[in-house]
Amino acid sequence: MKEILIKLLTLLGIAQAGGSIQEGQAGYVFTLKNHDGNVVRLSDYRGRWVVLYFYPKADTPGCTTQAKEYTKLMPEFEKLKVKVFGISTDSVDSIKKFREKYGLTVEFLSDPKGSVAKAYGVTLIAGFCSRDTVLLNPELKVEKIYRGVDPSADPTRVLDYIKSKATRS
């Protein structure tokens, strides 16, 4: 049903379907500005696991829940040398205010045109990202793609997956 709705919204020009990136493919290497306006290059994180979680809009209930859950687990992610980025089409100013308001430790990135989101297969509906998470392995290849995630459960699921891979290494 969801796919039919997205196709209909796409036909009406309200939604833009993302690309068809698959697990195992090289990740789309991007440069975006973070919440402080500093340039962040994905290529600088080669050799580390990277979490790209896409969310619709800063300071809305689901997005706040997801960001708080990632922040709560940030010490565990950092211990495993995992970099977590929250990405939306929000402005740098908007994500900075969001981060400060809740004392969040996630590094937020502004993707105002949604180009990075679309490259990772994230659907944009009326300019807002769907709630998807993409996990990149240390070679910056797409390891896992989670579509339509539950904002409260996503951070734990991602951390558990990375832990399972780390114990096999």
The residues annotated with a catalytic role in the active site are 63
67-103: b or e for each residue (b if 16 or more CB lie within 10 Å)?
bbbbbebbeebeeeebbbbbbbbbebebbbebbeeee
CA 20 to chain centre: 16
d(CA 6, CA 14): 9
- Residue 91, token pair as written in the block: 């402005």
d(CA 47, CA 108): 20
Looking from the CA of 92 toward its CB, the CA atoms found within 13 Å total 9
The CB density around residue 28, as the number of other CB atoms within 10 Å, is 20
- Residue 74, token pair as written in the block: 């940030």
